[in-house]
Every structure is written in C-alpha cells, then in structure tokens.
C-alpha cells in the first residue's frame, strides 16, 4: 500500500514537471505605482488629506523628478482639477529616500452634505474594501500605460454620526447618512 502511494506520487510529480517544461510561460514584469491616500472628513465636509505616491524603481522616480523638478506641477497633474473641491494649504515634496512624492492639503468640499447625507466622490471603478460608521477603505487599480499599473488605497475617517455607508462603483459616489 505504501509503495503504491509512492509510485503514484512519483508519476504525478513527473507529469507536472514534464507539462511545466512543455509549456514554458513568459512572465511580464509589471511596475506598480502605489498611492496611499489618508483623509479625515470634518463636520463641514472639508477633508484633511495626505497622499503618498511610491514609485517602484529609482530609475522611474528619477525620470519623474527630472521631468517635473517642481513637485507642485506633478501633483496638480496627478490629482487633476475639479470645480467641486479646492485644495488649500497644499505642501508637496519629493522624498528621495523612499522614491516617493508626498502631498498634504486641506480639501474644501471633499464631502458634500445633501439631504442629511454626506457624499464623497471616490472615483469610478473603485472597490469598497471596508466600511463602518467611523471609517471606510477603498481600492482602485488603473493601468497607466505599457507595463505600469497604479494601485490606490484610500482610507477615509468619516464625520461623527455617520451610518448606512453605501458605495456605487459605477458612479464613484459614496453616500452616507
């Protein structure tokens, strides 16, 4: 009985090795830009925001730093512009030791209160990973181009008294009551 199990195991292992070598697979390396966003929404709908873009290689980081010597320009391009909210007290800096770019700012109008419900525009295509009455966590994965992917994790501390958190990934809106 024992030898039968050994023989079956050896044959199974041999088949796995043969099939693995018969169909070699090419593995494409994907560079991942990690974006961590931390936001705290106050009772007026304004958000204290901290964002860190971490680049996968020193070469990519230096390429971006050379293309955008003024970090405020790249932050403006990465965040885009919106008529619904405004950045105040923005501070942007390169962090050479971490191959990253850091932004801290106050976002006026980060959340809008309509009919006793706070609504935050997270962005289309995001997934809500966690939510309770105090905080919510979202994930958004976007191809940037070629072999680069941007993974964004957004952590939001919600205003006091929030409950009934729902998220619509098609519209990108996160209404709470």
Express each pLDDT in 52-103 by its tens digit: 999 999 999 999 899 999 998 877 776 665 556 688 898 999 999 999 999 9
Q: Give CA angle at 106 (102, 108), nearest 5°.
A: 140
The answer to whether residue 35 sits within a structural domain is yes
Which positions ≥6 away from 125 have C-beta within 8 Å?
140, 142, 169, 172
The two tokens of residue 53 are 């873009």
The verdict on residue 16 lying in a domain is no
Count of the separate structural domains present in the chain: 1
Q: Is residue 8 part of a domain?
A: no
User: With bands split at pLDDT 50, 70 and 90, how would you rate the model's confidence at 127?
Assistant: very high
Judge whether 11 lies within some domain: no
Task: Indicate whether 10 belongs to any domain.
Answer: no
Domain that holds residue 41: 28-176
Pairwise CA distance, residues 156 & 35, whole Å: 14
pTM given for the model: 0.78
Q: Say if 121 falls within a structural domain.
A: yes
For residue 142, tell me if it sits in a domain. yes
DSSP 106-149: EEETSEEEETTEEEEE--TT-EEEEE-SSEEEEEEEEEEETTEE
Look at residue 2 in the predicted model and tell me its pLDDT: 47
């Amino acid at each position: 009985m024992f030898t039968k199990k050994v023989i079956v195991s050896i044959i199974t292992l041999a088949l796995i090795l043969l099939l693995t070598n018969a169909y070699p697979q090419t593995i494409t390396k994907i560079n991942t830009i990690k974006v961590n966003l931390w936001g705290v929404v106050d009772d007026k709908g304004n958000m204290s925001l901290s964002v860190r873009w971490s680049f996968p290689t020193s070469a990519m980081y230096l390429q971006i730093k050379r293309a955008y010597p003024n970090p405020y320009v790249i932050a403006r391009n990465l965040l885009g512009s919106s008529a619904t909210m405004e950045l105040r007290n923005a501070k942007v800096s390169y962090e050479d030791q971490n191959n990253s770019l850091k932004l801290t700012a106050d976002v006026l109008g980060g959340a809008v209160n309509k009919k006793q419900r706070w609504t935050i525009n997270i962005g289309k295509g995001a997934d809500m990973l966690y939510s309770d009455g105090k905080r919510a966590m979202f994930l958004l994965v976007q191809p940037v181009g070629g072999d680069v992917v941007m993974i964004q994790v957004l952590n939001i501390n919600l205003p006091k008294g929030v409950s009934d958190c729902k998220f619509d990934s098609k519209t990108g809106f996160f209404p709470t009551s």
